[in-house]
Amino acid sequence: MAPFGKIYTYPGNFRAERAQVVGAYNGLDVPIVEDFKMNVDNKTPEFLTKFPMGKVPALECADGFCIAESGAICYYLARSGPKKDQLLGTDPKTQSLIDQWSFFAENELVENIMPPAIMAFFKLMPLDNARYDRCAANLERALKRIEVALKDGQKYLVGDNVTLADIMVASVLFFASKYLIDAEMRKEVPNVVAWAQRLAALPEFKPLGEFNLLETRVKP
């Protein structure tokens, strides 16, 4: 079967990997473009004609449809296959809960995992201890919110199956587990850890890799 589309991105971008997870659930092949050069290829006139902001990830579909912004890409892929109802819900309340977690992933998780990542993981800016610690504390608060949602044996964030809510939230946490979510942070959220490990075992989640059990967070 021909690919549904292709994703332009740099290696290890969780925003692109989560789109691949969504595609996997809907049986859509959305490979990463090989040999894509960040800050080179996305500045060409050809790329900017399709994606005027030059941002990645960017999805170019086989029918010529182009869309950027990771959340929009994930929603488009979720709507484009047979698992649409499972991923997005069929009634307004379920759909709103899934939307809530998607916004939570961006506003509470991405906003707090990226500054430490840029400082300690990518090493693209000097360490700002106050900001690093503030982001880590905010992430702990967010993890405890997820822990509440998973109490009493709840396996997934919304309902009884994997939805886009799980994919959006897990993609950020899997990335953060490489450098920030350490043993001290995990001990407060055992249900979150069990949920992440359960998702990691699913074949559709393979693009995200493992949920790492980091002992001590990375800090220069």
Residues of the chain above pLDDT 90, percent: 94
Element (H, E) at 180: none
Give the domain ranges of the chain.
Answer: 5-84, 89-208
Average pLDDT over residues 167-195: 97
Give the model confidence (pLDDT) of 101-158 as tens digits: 999 999 999 999 999 999 988 888 899 999 999 999 999 999 999 999 999 999 999 9
Task: Name the class of domain 89-208.
Answer: mainly alpha
CATH assignment, 5-84: 3.40.30.10
Alpha helices in the chain (DSSP H): 14-25, 45-50, 70-79, 84-88, 92-104, 111-116, 129-149, 164-176, 183-186, 190-200
How many of the other CB atoms lie within 10 Å of CB of 9? 24
Average pLDDT taken over every residue of the chain: 96
Distance between CA atoms of residues 166 and 199, nearest Å: 8
Q: What is the pTM of this model?
A: 0.96
Give the model confidence (pLDDT) of 59-79 as tens digits: 999 999 999 999 999 999 999
Distance between CA atoms of residues 127 and 141, nearest Å: 22
Question: What's residue 1's pLDDT?
Answer: 65
